[in-house]
Amino acid sequence: MSTRIIDLTATLRDGIPVYPGDPPFRKSWHTIYEEAGVNVAKLEMSAHAGTHVDVPRHFLEQGADLLALPPHLFLGEAIAIDVPKRPGEEITPADFAHADIRASDIVLFRTGWEERSGTPRFFADDWPGFTPEAIDALISKGVKGIGGDLASVDSPAASQNGCPAHKKTLAAGLPIFEALTNLREVVGRRFFFVGLPLKIEGGEASPIRAVAILAEV
Ligand SMILES: [Zn+2]
């Protein structure tokens, strides 16, 4: 048996759209080879730029930070579920009532928003999020993490309303994987997901290089 690796990560580059109000992503040169004999980049960014993971410290003052969370929380058996959504629509329990979700799965949702990845349209319109009932249903299934091709797990309307999807998920101790791409390549399949964060003391989120590892018979 061999494996195939699908990259689920958006490209970080100057000018990529970021969450409204967040600082822009900027890569500049601290030193360049021409002058100093070595290239050293300087990165300025929100911890939520591009494909990233949120951990409890994001919304809970005493919540676990990246240092407190072991690597195994950010990888494992996963399933990707196709839930096509238009602007203003939410992910509800009915969307995954018949999905093969198992305890300890990392559950990823493809709404189609990934088609906007890397464009200003990613944070335009009312992106889809999760209803509080959907989060409750996933937590009660014993899942290990949730995520998707979403700009945020809370829609703009839910964000105005205190970000219930973030708060419920993080209070349950589950990582949230946001702004994944290429989920179209893995919907309906089971695979091994890796979305490891950087080890940032006090960190509430981190960019990740997310991949799906598929077993090919
Ligand atoms: Zn985030």
| Residues classed as catalytic | 58
Instruction: Count the Cβ atoms, other than its own, within 10 Å of residue 117.
Output: 21
102 alpha carbon – ligand 1 mean position (Å):
25
pLDDT at 116: 97
pLDDT, tens only, 117-142: 999 999 999 999 999 999 999 999 99
- For residues 162-169, give the mean pLDDT: 98
Phi, psi (deg, nearest 5) at residue 77? -60, 135
* Predicted TM-score (pTM) of this structure: 0.97
Identity of the amino acid at 181: T
- For residues 131-156, give the mean pLDDT: 98
52 alpha carbon – ligand 1 mean position (Å):
7
In this prediction, what percent of the chain has a pLDDT beyond 70? Answer: 100
Structure tokens at 40: 């050293």
Kindly list the distances between the CA atom of residue 72 and the CA atoms of 24, 29, 54, 107, in Å, as whole numbers in the listed order.
30, 34, 15, 15
**Phi/psi-derived region of residue 142, left when phi > 0, alpha when psi is between -120 and 50, beta in every other case:** left
Identity of the amino acid at 45: M
Domains identified in the chain and CATH numbers:
2-11+47-216 (3.50.30.50)
33 alpha carbon – ligand 1 mean position (Å):
34
- Helix 132-140 to helix 164-171 angle (10° resolution) is 20
**Residue 215 pLDDT more than 80?**
yes
Helix or strand holding residue 79 (H, E): strand 75-82
179 alpha carbon – ligand 1 mean position (Å):
9
pLDDT at 1: 73
9 alpha carbon – ligand 1 mean position (Å):
14
Pairing of strands 52-54, 145-148: unpaired
pLDDT at 53: 98
- For residues 164-183, give the mean pLDDT: 98
Per the prediction, the chain carries an average pLDDT of 97
- For residues 22-42, give the mean pLDDT: 97
- For residues 51-56, give the mean pLDDT: 98
Q: How sure is the predictor about 39, in pLDDT bands with cuts at 50, 70 and 90?
A: very high
**Residue 216 pLDDT more than 90?**
no
Find all residues with CB under 8 Å of 100, minimum gap 6, and list them: 79, 190
119 alpha carbon – ligand 1 mean position (Å):
17
What's the CA gap between 135 and 27, in Å, rounded? 36
Phi, psi (deg, nearest 5) at residue 149? -85, 25
pLDDT at 41: 98
- For residues 75-100, give the mean pLDDT: 98
Ion ligand 1: residue ranges with CB closer than 5 A: 48, 54, 178
